[in-house]
Amino acid sequence: MSTLTCGIDIGGTKIAGAVVDPDGNVVAEDRVESPATDPTAMEEAAARLVAGFAAEHGITAVGVGAAGYVASDRSTVLFAPNIAWRNEPLGADLARLTGLPVVVENDANAAAWGEFRYGGGADVDDQLMVTVGTGVGGGIVIDGALLRGAHGVGAEIGHLCVVPDGRVCGCGNHGCLEQYASGTALVRAAREAVAASSLLARDLLQRAEGDPAKITGPMITAAARDGDRFAIEQFERLGQWLGHGIASLVAVLDPAVVVIGGGVSEAGALLIDPLRASFEHELSGRGYRPTAEIRLAELGNRAGVIGAADLARS
């Protein structure tokens, strides 16, 4: 009989869960709203989700992807920016509530592991994953193992400094990559250009009913796919920043593959083509070294639960 495990992805707005088999197939899945301001209520909601799966499937362990800093014990969430977790014993609490072994991992690390095991990096031993959404995150796999660091909080890719004294970041520092290369940065740059009365942005402004504040990432993507030059330029700029940051990371890590995920990656070639060009232009030793392959993620928004479930199994 296949060993089934449960993966739970806890975020600020929802808790997603899935039962996953050893081949990475999702057997069952569900989600509930996340009571992000109440840690106890959040744990109870996650436990009810697990109990629902356990009633129908013989799950043996639970893996949790948590949006925060997870300590080296793989149980305690030290801090979360959008959830009321401060030194929260999440793993121990969920183990008590569910009666099952629980392992906790940073949500971006869990997604990176999912792609490494069953997605875009399944054929290599060394993978860098970069997720581009509201912020920039990701995870690093070296010699087949997650790179977590001495304290469990490594691989914070989005907070690589790319512009000294640049834009203020939510982390408190200045010039972090996610201030220039995230979905938030994409929308901000478009809105600023529209507000400055850029003639090139007229079509996008019409899509937003004349209100720059209504411009969204999907709206920019749709305009770019329709050939709007201004929208295409926004992705070119975003790709250049990502390529710049990834070139620095690859110079240190030397992965075989760089997997690009997150909501903004759904733009496909609009993002990947300028990203790849920027990366290849800025990589140190270019022309005299093997170059990491840039790939799109394959598991979509299931990567986190699939990765968490597999981490629980192993």
Summarize pLDDT for 273-302 with one digit per residue, the tens.
999 999 999 999 988 999 999 999 999 999
Strands (E), 21-57: 26-33
Percent of the chain topping pLDDT 90 = 83
pLDDT value of position 304: 95
For the ranges 170-179, 193-202, 303-312, which has the lowest average pLDDT? 193-202
State mean pLDDT over 82-102. 94
Q: Rounded to 5 degrees, what angle do the CA atoms 254, 182, 10 make?
A: 90
Strands (E), the chain: 4-10, 14-20, 26-33, 59-66, 69-70, 77-79, 86-88, 102-106, 127-132, 136-142, 145-146, 257-261, 293-296
Is the pLDDT score of 228 beyond 90?
yes
279 and 136 in a common domain = yes
Is the pLDDT score of 2 beyond 70?
no
pLDDT value of position 122: 97
260 and 167 in a common domain = yes
260 and 188 in a common domain = yes
**Rounded to an integer, what is the distance from CA 210 to the centroid of its chain?**
32
Cα gap 16→125, rounded to integer Å: 28
State mean pLDDT over 42-49. 95
Confidence of residue 250 (pLDDT cuts 50, 70, 90): very high
309 and 191 in a common domain = no
Domain count, the chain: 2
Percent of the chain topping pLDDT 70 = 99
307 and 287 in a common domain = no
Confidence of residue 126 (pLDDT cuts 50, 70, 90): very high
Cα gap 299→5, rounded to integer Å: 17
50 and 77 in a common domain = yes
Q: Are 104 and 148 in contact (CB under 8 A)?
A: no
186 and 205 in a common domain = yes
pLDDT one-digit tens code per residue, 147-170 = 999 999 999 999 999 999 999 998
Domain containing 258 equals 123-297
**Rounded to an integer, what is the distance from CA 132 to the centroid of its chain?**
6
156 and 62 in a common domain = no
State mean pLDDT over 260-267. 93
Two structure tokens written together for 78 = 């030290």
CATH number of the CATH domain containing 131: 3.30.420.40
219 and 293 in a common domain = yes
225 and 184 in a common domain = yes
137 and 63 in a common domain = no
Amino acid at 256: A
pLDDT value of position 287: 87
Is the pLDDT score of 1 beyond 60?
no
State mean pLDDT over 2-19. 91
130 and 57 in a common domain = no
The gap between the terminal CA atoms of the chain, to the nearest Å, is: 17
- Residue 125: Cβ-neighbour burial (10 angstroms; 0-12, 13-18, 19+): middle
